[in-house]
Amino acid sequence: MINFVHEVDVLQYLLGPITRVSAEKMRRRYVTEEGDANSVEDGAALTLRFESGAVGSFILSDSVVSPHNFEAGTGENPLLPRARRPCHDHLSDTDRSEAEPVDVYRIFGTNGTLSVPDMTLWTCGDKPQSWENELQVQRIELDNDTRVPFERQLDHFIAVVRGDILTGDGPGCTGEEGLRVIAVCEAVIEALDDGEGGRVSVKML
């Protein structure tokens, strides 16, 4: 749950506020020195309902080996290696620069499916939506700024403080959005503690 707050922040930015959650806890594989096997979650499977009408599933765990996590998928933290999908049967240092990034989120929509952060978009193109028509795939290009994202965030913050960037009606991320993230995480914890995977509404104070 420690890093899940960041995932909630991103998901609500992309899809809008989360209004209801249900959760199923993974059984702990390890026991603490005190003999408590339930003091910290090993992981969970969540169902999230968004105010926009979207419904999503989310799996989180610190006890599995997987490239499908935010840091490995985005490469935003220079201290952690970025995961790449091999172009061939194996991934060597020589072809690492040409390898495909892995996805962290998959967003399924009426008109297409987008994977993030590799930004691969699958659609029917200009053809009617039908299983009989071949899907079209494209890669959405992002900016080519090679700076570490943390540096970009700090540069942006400094520019806002100096007045070089106008914030309009307020900051891009408000305190209310931060509270909403905490409210979602508290709802998930409540659902996990329920033991029956019960549905819990997200409550803002």
pLDDT class of 95 with cuts at 50, 70, 90: low
The answer to which of 7-11, 49-53, 73-77 has the lowest mean pLDDT is 73-77
From 181, 172, 176, select the one nearest 153 (Cα to Cα): 172
Average pLDDT of span 105-117: 94
pLDDT class of 136 with cuts at 50, 70, 90: very high
Helix, strand or coil, per DSSP, at residue 109: coil
pLDDT class of 94 with cuts at 50, 70, 90: very low
β-sheet bridge partners, residue 61: 43
Give the whole-angstrom CA distance, residue 14 versus residue 104. Answer: 13
| CATH number 3.40.50.1970 is the correct assignment for the domain at 4-201 | no
Give the whole-angstrom CA distance, residue 136 versus residue 131. Answer: 12
Contact 198, 22 (CB under 8 A): yes
pLDDT value of position 20: 94
- For residue 123, give the DSSP letter: E
0.75 surpassed by pTM: yes
Average pLDDT of span 144-169: 82
Average pLDDT of span 121-135: 92
Pairing of strands 199-201, 18-25: antiparallel
Q: Where are the domains of the chain?
A: 4-201
Give the whole-angstrom CA distance, residue 47 versus residue 58. Answer: 6
- For residue 75, give the DSSP letter: -
**Apex CA 116: angle with CA 109 and CA 157, to 5°?**
120
pLDDT tens digits for range 115-127 = 998 899 999 999 9
β-sheet bridge partners, residue 136: 123
Of the CA atoms within 13 Å of residue 200, those in its CB half-sphere come to: 24
